[in-house]
Chains A and B, each alone.
Chain A
Amino acid sequence: MTVDDPAVREMIRRAMVARIATLSGGGRPSITSLYFIPMNGHVWLGTADWTLAAREARADPRVSVLFQLEHNSGDRRILRISGQATVTTDEEIQKAYRWRVALKYILNPGGIANYATHWRQYRLMDQYHAQSAEKGKGCVIDVTPELAEYI
């Protein structure tokens, strides 16, 4: 199976949460879950440049990312993409990422319902994001897939 396989691209298009494994400069593993968007054959994962995932992807660009259809219990396949990551804080890329993330995770029935039922936490969410901005910049971990496998 290649990374250009239509089934691979469809899984990446429909999955909601990516789990990305990274290595520290000293070779220690970590894994975390991040939001993402597919972009021209790449996968863009969003975080901040001070986070462990971003720092480790800069230290060692090799990454391993899992995708699954979280909302389809009838399809239990899990896709693993292995590839190379670059970390960018470029503002144009950030803008392109942010509005696509808004469409995918907020501006749809599920996202709207989720925000509507948690309206009391908007202030805390804004503060949380502001805290992150004080520590560093938003960034995109741009993954170029090299290998795709269903596992």
Chain B
Amino acid sequence: MKRVTRDIDPESAHDLLERVPRACIAFAREEGPIAQPVALIWRDGRYQVGVPSAAARRPDAGDEVVLLVDEGRYFFDLRAIYIRGLAEPVDAPEAAPEGHTWYEITPTRTVAWDYGSLREVDDDR
């Protein structure tokens, strides 16, 4: 049996981590989920995100967050990489843009998708 998947190897989406067309994190607060645009520096395999210092809410140390880096407007251009992990405050990375509070995300789960790369795979689920 075959099925069609949009899933891709996250390594195929590393260009998104380098170019960062759109990046945001989600984290939980008392009032509900918070979607927050972030700066992203992906270097030596490390995910460092900068939340604007003016942001009213930021993750606490050890919070679970999800980082979404995506691009595209029309169907076959939609691509994304999704990294779930734990955020810890860190010093600003070298050459980081000013005006941000920085966190490093230690991934617990990473997935990526690309609607322009739909293909058939064995359905072994």
Contacts and interface: CB of A to CB of B under 8 A. Distances in A.
B70 A29 contact: no
Contact of A60 (B32, B35, B68): B32
A29 B27 contact: yes
A66 B24 contact: yes
Contacts of A124: 4, 118-120
Interface stretch (A1-9, A37-45, A107-115): A107-115
B80 A114 contact: no
A74 interface: no
A82 B22 CA distance: 19
B35 A128 contact: no
B31 to A, nearest CB: 7
Contact of B31 (A16, A62, A121, A151): A62
Nearest to B23: A19
B70 to A, nearest CB: 5
Contacts, number: 117
Contact of A110 (B31, B74, B84): B74
Interface in A98-147: 105-106, 110-111, 113-115, 117-118, 121, 124-125, 127-128, 131
B33 A22 contact: yes
Q: How large is the interface on A (under 10, 10 to 19, 20 to 34, 35 or more residues)?
A: 35 or more
Contacts of A117: 76
Contacts of A63: 32-33
Label chain B's interface by main secondary structure: strand
Interface in A35-72: 60, 62-66, 68, 70-71
B78 interface: yes
A11 interface: no
Nearest to B37: A78
Given A31-B25, A127-B4, A128-B6, A151 B73 contact: no
B87 to A, nearest CB: 11
Interface of B: 3-6, 22, 24-28, 31-37, 52, 55, 64-66, 68, 70, 72-78, 80, 82, 84, 116, 118-120
CB-CB nearest 5 A-B residue pairs? A62-B32, A114-B74, A31-B26, A21-B26, A21-B35
11 contacts: A21-B66, A31-B25, A31-B66, A32-B82, A62-B33, A70-B73, A110-B74, A114-B77, A118-B75, A124-B118, A128-B118
Interface of A: 16-17, 19-23, 27-33, 60, 62-66, 68, 70-71, 78, 80, 82, 105-106, 110-111, 113-115, 117-118, 121, 124-125, 127-128, 131, 151
